[in-house]
Amino acid sequence: MNKGKWMKALCAFFMVAVLFSVMPNLHVEATMSELKFDFGSGSVESGYIGVSASESYSQTKGYGFNTPENMLNVTASGTGEASDAVQFLTYGTKSTNTFNVDLPNGLYEIKVTLGNTARASVAAEGVYQIINMTGNSAADKFQIPITDGQLNILVTEGKAGTAFTLSALKIRKLSDTPVTNRTIYIGGDSTVCNYYPLDSSVQAGWGQLFPDFISAKTFQVRNMASGGQIARGFRNDGQLEAILKYIKPGDYFILQLGINDTNPKNNTTEAEFKEIMRDMVGQVIATGATVVLSTPQGRATDFNSEGVHTSVNRWYRHATLALAQEENVPLVDLNVLSSAYFTSIGPIATSALYMTGDSLHPNRQGAAELARIVAEDLQKQGLDGFSIDE
C-alpha cells in the first residue's frame, strides 16, 4: 500500500475508533458508527481500512487476523472493495482462524461481501451466521450481539473444495443493548433457502422473500435453510445450534423439512423424521420461543385429471401434521394452502411459478407467492406480531 492510501486508511480508522472506544457510553447514531474493512493486497477503497492477509491482531490496532499464517491474499472479480480478498486456509465454525475486531458491547449489524467462491457460509462467535452464500461478490448481513468486547468472524464451509474468501466487512452499531431484535428464524431446504444476489436472483426460496410480507418494524428474518437439507442434518450440523444460541421469548422458529428426508439415499424413515423434528421442537420451546411447523408445497405437476392440484401424501406431511398436534404448536399446512392457490390459477400458470424444466423448485415469483401464503396464514391464526395492523 502506498503512503497516501495508508494515511487515508489510518485516519478513517482513528475517526471511527474514537466513536467506538473513547466514548463507550455515548449512544452512537447509525451514520456515525460504521467500521469498514477492505481485505486483500490491492488498493483500498475510500473510507475503508485496508487489511492484508498477513495483518495479525493487536490490541493497539483493535483488529486483525488471529492466525495470519492461515490466511492468503487473493484476487477477486468484483469492483471497488470487492476487487480483491483474503482466503481462509483453515476454517470451521469452531476454528480460531478468525478476523477479530474489538467493539464495545452492544448489538451490531454485520454486512459481509465475499470474494470469488462457489458457495460459502459465514460464522462468528463459534456458530453459523449466514448459510451458503453463492457466487462471486455475494453479499448479505446479519445482526449479532457482542458481549465480550470482540467480534470473531470467518468464512467457512458451504461446499467442499471451494475457496472461502472475504472481500469486505461493514460493522454498524444498532444499540448499546446486546440483544437481537425480535426475530423469525426459518429452517428448511432448497425450496426455502436464500439464493444470491438476494434482491435479483431468478431462483428463490420462500424464506428469502418472507421479509416482504411481514412488518420490518416488528421482526427481522434469519433464514437458516439450506439446499438438500434433511431434519437430521439441520439438527446435528450447526444450523439449529446457531438458532439456539440467540433465540429468545418473543421470537419464532418456522421449520419446514421432509422433501429430502423422503429420498431413500438419506435413510430416514417417517418415524425417525418425526422424532428428530420433535427433538428440535422441544429444544426451541425450552427457550421460550414459539415454534411453527410448515409442510412443503408439492410439485408443479401434481394436478389430477379434474384439474385439482393435490400432494397431500408427499414429503412426510402426515408426520408433520401429527407432530404439530401432539406438541401443540402452530401449523402452516403450506402443502394444502399452496395446492388451493395452484388449483385456482391452473396448471400453466402454476408451472410459470417454478424454475424452467423443474417441477419442484420455485422461481422468484413462485417463492413470493409461497411466502405470501405463509404470512397470510400466520395472520389468520392470530399469532402475535403478524397482525395486519402491527
Long-range contacts of 203-207 (CB under 8 A, 24+ apart): 203/355, 203/361, 203/362, 203/363, 203/364, 203/367, 204/362, 204/363, 204/364, 204/366, 204/367, 204/368, 205/362, 205/367, 206/362, 206/367, 206/368, 206/370, 206/371, 206/374, 207/254, 207/371
What is the four-CA torsion angle of 227, 233, 237, 239, rounded to 10 degrees? 60
**Active site (annotated) includes residue 279:** no
**Active site (annotated) includes residue 190:** yes
Per-residue burial over 196-208, b = 16 or more CB atoms within 10 Å of its CB, e = otherwise: bebeebebbbbbb
- Beta-bridged to residue 128, according to DSSP, are 123
Q: Could you tell me whether strands 139-146 and 252-255 are parallel, antiparallel, or unpaired per DSSP bridges?
A: unpaired
Question: Which three-class secondary structure string do you get for 309-349?
Answer: ECCCCCCCHHHHHHHHHHHCCCEECHHHHHHHHHHHHHHHH
Residue recorded with cell 492477509: 53
231 three-state secondary structure: helix
Burial of 261 by CB count in 10 Å (0-12 exposed, 13-18 middle, 19+ buried)?
buried
**Active site (annotated) includes residue 148:** no
C-alpha cell read off for 42: 490491492
- CB-CB contact of 346 with 307 (8 Å): yes
For the chain, the 3-state helix, strand and coil shares in percent, each to the nearest 5, are 30, 25, 45
Of 56, 58, 215, 358, the active-site residue reads 358
Give the Cα separation of 243 and 42 in Å (integer).
36
Give the Cα separation of 80 and 8 in Å (integer).
16
Of 83, 190, 311, 339, the active-site residue reads 190
CA 70 to chain centre: 26
- CB-CB contact of 261 with 231 (8 Å): yes
Half-sphere exposure of 183 (CA within 13 A, CB side): 22
Q: Which residues are catalytic?
A: 190, 358, 361
